[in-house]
Amino acid sequence: MNARDIETYLSHLGDELTNQGIQCPIRILLLGGAFMLTQVKVRRTTDDIDVLPLDGGGADKATGVPIAVALWNAAHAVASSQKLPTTWFNTVIADFVRAAGAVPSGTLWHRYGPLEIYLPPREYIFVLKLIANRQKDQRDIIALCRLLKIRTQQQAQQLINTYIPDTEVQLLLEIPDTLEMLFPS
């Protein structure tokens, strides 16, 4: 999907939540390739929309439906109506991201009915891309380095420390090896 598709599908997701009678705001943080496409504009497509739900395990006051269930039901309804794979809206990364360190609340980008999409700082996306460090992330990492004017391992490490201050977690995530590969000494 491209940037326009992402916004269209998120709009449909908001419509589905409205159709379910959901009234409380459902806040999500846009991550991964969807962020890169819509905000940095270096990619052409992505397979899914990675998000991190920002609201805990509460329920909508109007319907009593748990937020996670409402979001799941709406995402599957959009998948069905738009002929998308059920994995188009991906929250799998959520637990990993929360376990790695602090999650920024982000800045409101779009509102579609009760669905509120927030954007994290670009620096946060850079750190997540470093953690993933897959082949498909390499262009994104390079683009973010240019955008954020990151030229040294020390500059990258400062950003990592902001979001993942625990050095043991950094070691488990192989951050030192990734930085050495990206910024050879």
Burial class of 153 by CB neighbour count within 10 A (0 to 12, 13 to 18, 19+): middle
Distance CA 66, CA 82 (A): 24
Contact 116, 18 (CB under 8 A): no
- Do 170 and 164 form a contact (C-beta atoms < 8 A)? yes
DSSP 8-state class, residue 115: E
Does 132 lie in the same domain as 153?
Answer: yes
Sheet harboring 26-30: ordered strands across?
A: 89-90, 49-53, 26-30, 115-119, 107-112
Measured over the CA atoms of residue 109, residue 111, residue 112 and residue 114, the dihedral's sign is positive
29 and 78 both lie in a single domain? yes
Q: How confident is residue 96, by pLDDT bands cut at 50, 70 and 90? A: confident
- Please indicate, yes or no, whether residues 100 and 132 belong to a single structural domain of this protein: no
Rounded mean pLDDT of 105-109? 96
Mark which of 93, 120, 147 sits at the end of a domain. Answer: 120
The DSSP output letter for 44 is S
115 and 133 part of one domain: no
- Whether 170 and 146 share a structural domain: yes
Same domain, 98 and 169: no
CA 137 – CA 142 distance, rounded (Å): 9
What is the model's pTM?
0.93
47 pLDDT band (50/70/90 cuts)?
Answer: very high
Q: Which of 120, 137, 159 is the last residue of a domain?
A: 120
- Number of domains composing the chain: 2
User: Average pLDDT in the 136-162 region?
Assistant: 95
Residues 52, 86, single domain; the answer is yes
- Give the Cα separation of 46 and 34 in Å (integer): 7
Q: Identify whether residues 20 and 104 lie together within a single domain.
A: yes
pLDDT tier for residue 94 given thresholds of 50, 70 and 90: confident
Q: How confident is the model at residue 184 (pLDDT cuts 50, 70, 90)?
A: confident
Residue 156, Cα to own-chain centre: how many angstroms?
Answer: 20
Residues 83 and 152 in one domain: no
**16 and 63 inside one domain:** yes
The 8-class DSSP code of residue 66 comes to B
Whether residues 110 and 134 share a domain: the answer is no
Q: What single-letter DSSP state applies at residue 37?
A: I
Are 102 and 129 contained in the same domain? no
Range of the domain at 167: 124-182
